[in-house]
Structure 1
Amino acid sequence: MTRRLMKGNEAIGAAALAAGCRYFFGYPITPQTELPEYLARRLPEAGGVFLQAESEIAAINMVYGAAAAGARVMTSSSSPGISLKTEGISYLAAAELPCVIVNIMRGGPGLGGIQPAQSDYFQATKGGGHGDYRIIVLAPASVQEIIDLTRLAFELADLYRNPVMILGDGLLGQMMEAVEFNEEDDKGNRPIPKTWATTGCKGRKKNIINSLYLDPAELEQHNLHLQEKYREIVQKEQRAEEYLTRDAEIITVAFGTAARIVKEAVVSARARGIKVGLLRPITLWPFPENALKRSLQRARAILTVEMNAGQMVEDVKLAVEGKVPVYFYGRTGGILPDSRTVLKEIQRVGGYDYEDSLSKAESLVGG
């Protein structure tokens, strides 16, 4: 086991290489550019192919070709670059082609800014492109988890023949943290046999990769097949971290960088005698509604904290089904929420008096 200091963007590249990814097609955009820079150096050394395409649109269609040939392939971008890829992502989902797509989010809308944000939640989880399709969306909250979820992304992509997105933000991409990285862990994580791939007939029936169905009845059957697969993913692949939720009267919900900030506020609130916990979605789609519903046994309020104007809060409300009130606090434009303000929001939604909770905290520490 090797312990090293790694930047988030580079950690994605290293984990992808270890997981057997040998093809990368992309286009530079801040704040994810260190990822293609890393792979531009390392992929050729591993016998792979790195290609900087002429555009994001070209890159995602190159991913389609490599995935159709059975390769483990990845692309990456940031916010507006992902918008350009969404038509191709819909094609990939329709053709059931496994691949990994990385979005290191920046502030928006439009060109916005290069500071971290979480305003691409709708785009990632609701299908940014056209048609009834879904992609699996994984949301890391640390550089270590970036490594772990990148490995998982390739496994899930192959297992379900579906695109998987790693959704981080500019802060996670740029920060450096100590990680444990053992390439031996990936020896068993290799592409499964892909008998459906377009690798040449070799005496068998032709494999055809396609997303065009001119017969409406045939297209409907294809859609029904896809929806059945998505139901299986919802049933089997919900993932979340539950932190101090067992006895919590207030549940905070946050993902990625925001969850790190909220966790600090939860610790401060607990010191003040407030029973609050954190539910951190790791899969944004499928949304971990089962874990959230379990937490409602004692909870009387939900506070969702995001680095956007309020997007995941809609999925929280759908999961809660009106059983308890759901509140929202967010910052936009690349501004991070701070733990003190989140603590005050926890106190506000819980009906706690700030001075009273402060006195309880002081008594706990002998103040």
Structure 2
Amino acid sequence: MSKKNDRIFVKGNEAIARGALAAKCKCFFGYPITPQNDIPEYMSSEIIKAGGDFVQAESEVAAANMLLGAGASGVRAMTSSSSPGIALKQEAISYMAGSEIPAVIVNMNRGGPGLGDIGPAQGDYYQSTRGGGHGDYRHFTFGPGTVQEAYDLTIKAFDIAFKQRTPVLILGDAILGQMKEPITPWLPENIDEEAGRDWAVTGRTGGREKRLVKSLFLEEGALAEQNRHLQAKYDSWKSMTEAEQFETEDADLILCAYGSIGRIAKSAVRKFRKDGKKVGLFRPITLYPFPSDELKELAEQGKRFLTIEHNLGQMLDDVRLAIRTVADSDFYPIYPGNLPTPDELEEPILKCLEGK
């Protein structure tokens, strides 16, 4: 159950900030970088009004380690950045995953590699879904495609972070972050900020046993056991996948795309449907875990696939892994630095429909 408010017209970045406050985020640690600056700007005033704390850190590295510290004490905390800033946070994210510290991290993906530009891109998919830091780990990753989803999934990210004791990453881009759409804010009910914190480092009082949050395992076999435990947790997430299917039931060709490219591909599907061509869309919402079973079911129906990404081919690997026993996927890259349009997708879609 939830309490819904009147619709408002906001940017994707602001929707994420509002969603974090609705989820009772109490600490925000950030550092300015385009195109996510609206998030720390909004939080710098609004989280204070909500009784929380805002810190503009001296660097992205510092912000990530502040997040680690807050999470280790069981505080609902968040950071946000864009591509190279997220790269700098990777060491701390690996430590959080290894220590099972909950946290929410937002990446508004910009063009790369290097400094690239401040425009949209999807080149951070590997980093976001493979554990971008050192060691064997994963973290839950959402890829919202609308401003409403950006709000909703931020609330959900805090819930998953604390229930699963894991960092959760929200992967957007400059299109989603800067685009304005109407949303209906809502407030989750019965958030118990004290529940499930029996592991947190909160100060030893009342004679309770000491608590230790760590990612260092030096005893014989201890690290292997910890990695088995983490992998079992990651495997359990397979039941938590989400995806949007649009016009897939009778489709001959399925477009696979996520985030902002997913919504552009959806416009292309509508155009082809008006022309009587059976094209559909499969848009993953959870990027890790990837909704492989749902995609495989479509492949088993004899459908063809075209993966479209604003990069040189990254989610393509997950699509092909999902359908590898029954089908394959063609690929159309939108090169970072270009702004995609539905018209640009017409030619590659036609080629696939014609079997070229």
Query: Into which bin does the TM-score normalised by the smaller protein fall?
Result: over 0.9
The counterpart of 1:268, out of the listed 268, 271, 290, is: 271
Alpha-carbon shift at residue 81 of structure 1 (Å): 0.2
Residue identity in the other structure for 2:32:
P
In 1, Cα distance between equivalents of 2:197 and 2:185: 28
Give the TM-score normalised by the residue count of structure 1. Answer: 0.93
Q: Who is 1:151 aligned against?
A: 155
Consecutive aligned runs of 4 or more in structure 1 exceeding 6 Å deviation: none
Between structure 1 and structure 2, the one with the greater Rg is: 1
1:228 — aligned with what?
A: 232
Matched, 1:237 2:260: no
- Choose which of 133, 139, 151 in structure 2 pairs with 1:135: 139
Q: Which residues in structure 2 correspond to 1:137-286 (within 5 Å)?
A: 137-182=141-186, 185-191=187-193, 192-202=195-205, 203-234=207-238, 236-286=239-289
CA distance in 2, matches of 1:116, 1:259: 13
CA apart distance, 1:178: 0.7
The Cα shift of 1:325 comes to 3.0
How far apart, in 2, do the equivalents of 1:158 and 1:290 lie?
26
For the pair 1:337 / 2:340, whether they are aligned, the reply is yes
Q: Distance between the aligned counterparts of 2:304 and 2:143, measured in 1?
A: 24
**Is residue 252–residue 304 contact of structure 1 (8 Å, CA) maintained in 2?**
yes
- Match 1:92 to one of 89, 92, 96: 96
Report if aligned partners of 1:250, 1:299 keep a CA contact under 8 Å in 2.
Answer: no
Rounded to whole Å, the distance in 2 between the matches of 1:128 and 1:352 is 36
Identity of aligned residues (%): 49
Whole-Å separation in 2 of the counterparts to 1:323 and 1:297 = 6
- Matching of residues 63-142 of structure 1 within 5 Å: 63-142=67-146
- Give the counterpart of 1:26 among 18, 23, 30: 30
- In structure 1, C-alpha distance between the alignment counterparts of 2:312 and 2:151, rounded to whole Å: 29
Question: Match for 2:62 among 58, 61, 64?
Answer: 58
Whether contact under 8 Å (1:258, 1:336) holds in the other structure is no
Unaligned residue ranges in structure 1 (runs of 5+): 354-367
Q: Does structure 2 retain, via aligned residues, the 8 Å contact 1:80–1:110? A: yes
Shift of 1:273: 2.0
CA drift of 1:249 comes to: 1.3
In the alignment, the residues of structure 2 paired with residue 23 and residue 221 of structure 1 have an alpha-carbon distance, to the nearest angstrom, of 32
Cα distance between partner residues in 2 of 1:39 and 1:337: 31
Give the CA deviation at 1:216: 4.1
Equivalents in 1 of 2:185, 2:87: separation in Å? 32
Partners of 2:71 and 2:102 within 8 A in 1: yes
Aligned length: 350
Q: 1:190 offset after TM fit, Å? A: 4.1
Q: Measure, in 1, the Cα distance between the counterparts of 2:296 and 2:190.
A: 35
Residues 332-354 of structure 1: CA deviation (Å, up to 9, x unaligned): 2232322123122111012179x
Query: Which deviations, in whole Å up to 9, do the C-alpha atoms of 1:164-203 show, x marking residues without a partner?
Result: 0000001110111111113xx3222443331000112221
2:308 to 305, 311, 314: 305
Query: What secondary structure does 2:331 align onto?
Result: strand
Matching of residue 7 in structure 1 with residue 15 in structure 2: no
Displacement of 1:261 after TM fit? Answer: 0.8
Tell me the distance in 2 between the aligned counterparts of 1:308 and 1:62: 31
Give the CA deviation at 1:276. 1.4
Contact 1:19/1:190 (<8 A) preserved: no
Unaligned runs of 5+ residues in structure 2 are none
3-state SS in 2 of match to 1:133: coil
Return the letter of the residue paired with 2:340: P
Provide the C-alpha distance between the structure 2 equivalents of 1:216 and 1:278, rounded to a whole number of angstroms.
49
1:7-45 Cα shifts (integer Å, max 9, x gaps): 111111111011010101111100001100100011111
Q: 2:192, 2:85 → 1: CA distance?
A: 29
Partner of 1:361: none
Contact persistence 1:134–1:230 (CA under 8 A): yes
Q: Is the 8 A contact 1:25 1:63 kept in 2?
A: yes
Counterpart of 1:16 in structure 2 is 20
Shift of 1:312: 0.3
Distance 2:263 2:53 in 1: 36
Instruction: Give the partner amino acid of 2:227.
Output: N
C-alpha deviation, 1:67, in angstroms: 0.5
What is the aligned-residue RMSD (CA, Å)?
Answer: 1.3
